Chains A and B, each alone.
Chain A
Amino acid sequence: MIKKFFHQFASPKSYFAIANKFGKPVLVFFFLLYLGALVWGLFFTPPDAIQGDSYRIIYMHVPASFMAQILFVVMAITSAVFLIWKLKLAAYVSKSIAPIGAIVTFFALFSGSIWGIPTWGTWWQWDARITSTLILFIMYLGLISLHASFENKDKADKFFSVLVLIGVVNIPIIKKSVDWWSTLHQSASITLTSKPTIDPVMLYPLMFSIVTFIGLIFGLVVLSSQNEILKREKYKSWVKNI
């Protein structure tokens, strides 16, 4: 029964029907929640003792940096699923994550650079965290270009998935870069193993902004995957009936 359920859900037709029904309401819901998280963080928390008000960029930069990495990991999982079980839907979802990942990574780099001006006195530094994130951004762009360069999209899916699985090695490097090397970028304020080094009055809106941003970006991924399914399945009979 479970196998049947997954088999049904894994068909582009069933996925599209669910995404078409719930995608947009979920996106709007998380967009409004994230807006609430921003208002909380921007206007209802005190300024930082050292950084002043510029620290408020945290409510945009941290969720974006977190999602830039999470999206690549999700892309690696869906790529592995495609290569192992040959599920077409997994390849479509993997491909549709790439442009969203590129946008989110660009924003993470941009917001970090702007934050660097008042706090570090420079908008760019070739330190390990920033450089490895730039590599992540280039990888997203490379994956998009690779897929677009193939006429045969089935072949493109295979090369794309293999490259994602190779590229995912960069994620632990980004995560650990602040511990392995001496970087201008600070080490993590929130970890699973130790108490957060950030005051609760700033931590709660930050956690709320991260959770709601995750929902918002996955809403965008659902929208992007709908577009990918329509492009790739346009000659199938079920698409003509939507």
Chain B
Amino acid sequence: MNQDSLINILSMGDHGVYVWIVIVVLFAILGSTIILLNRKIRQAKQEINEEG
């Protein structure tokens, strides 16, 4: 695969920008949700251990 065909795939034609916006927002949402939930669970466990 040469550089031109890679760029062609990644740019996805004229409307590629819309697709990439959706991808970025999806992973931002998924990533932040997973991080937030993990942090909340860790905090809750820590609080329980401190109180116990």
Interface residues of A (CB under 8 A from B): 27, 31, 38, 42-43, 47, 51-54, 56-57, 60-61, 64, 100, 103, 106-107, 110-111, 114-115, 117-118, 216, 220, 223-224, 226-227, 230-231, 234, 239-240, 242
A133 CB to nearest B CB, Å = 16
Check B13 against A234 for contact (C-beta < 8 Å).
Answer: no
**CA of A60 to CA of B22 in the docked complex: distance in angstroms?**
8
**CA of A51 to CA of B16 in the docked complex: distance in angstroms?**
11
Which B residues between 1 and 52 are near A, CB-CB below 8 angstroms? Answer: 9, 12-16, 18-19, 21-23, 25-26, 29-30, 33-34, 37-38, 40-41, 44-45, 47-49, 51-52
Check B22 against A114 for contact (C-beta < 8 Å).
Answer: yes
A residues near B14, Cβ cutoff 8 Å: 52-53
A153 CB to nearest B CB, Å = 15
Q: Which of B26, B38, B44, B52 contacts A231 (CB 8 A)?
A: B44
B20 CB to nearest A CB, Å = 10
Check A107 against B48 for contact (C-beta < 8 Å).
Answer: no
**CA of A223 to CA of B40 in the docked complex: distance in angstroms?**
10
B residues near A64, Cβ cutoff 8 Å: 26
A67 CB to nearest B CB, Å = 12
Check A230 against B15 for contact (C-beta < 8 Å).
Answer: no
Check A42 against B22 for contact (C-beta < 8 Å).
Answer: no
Check B9 against A60 for contact (C-beta < 8 Å).
Answer: no
B26 CB to nearest A CB, Å = 5
**CA of A231 to CA of B51 in the docked complex: distance in angstroms?**
13
**CA of A31 to CA of B30 in the docked complex: distance in angstroms?**
10
B residues near A100, Cβ cutoff 8 Å: 33
Given contacts A47-B13, A107-B26, A234-B44, contact A53 B37 (CB under 8 A): no
A residues near B52, Cβ cutoff 8 Å: 240
Check B41 against A240 for contact (C-beta < 8 Å).
Answer: no
A residues near B51, Cβ cutoff 8 Å: 234
Check A230 against B33 for contact (C-beta < 8 Å).
Answer: no
Check A115 against B18 for contact (C-beta < 8 Å).
Answer: yes
B residues near A117, Cβ cutoff 8 Å: 18
B49 CB to nearest A CB, Å = 8
Check A223 against B18 for contact (C-beta < 8 Å).
Answer: no
**CA of A53 to CA of B22 in the docked complex: distance in angstroms?**
13
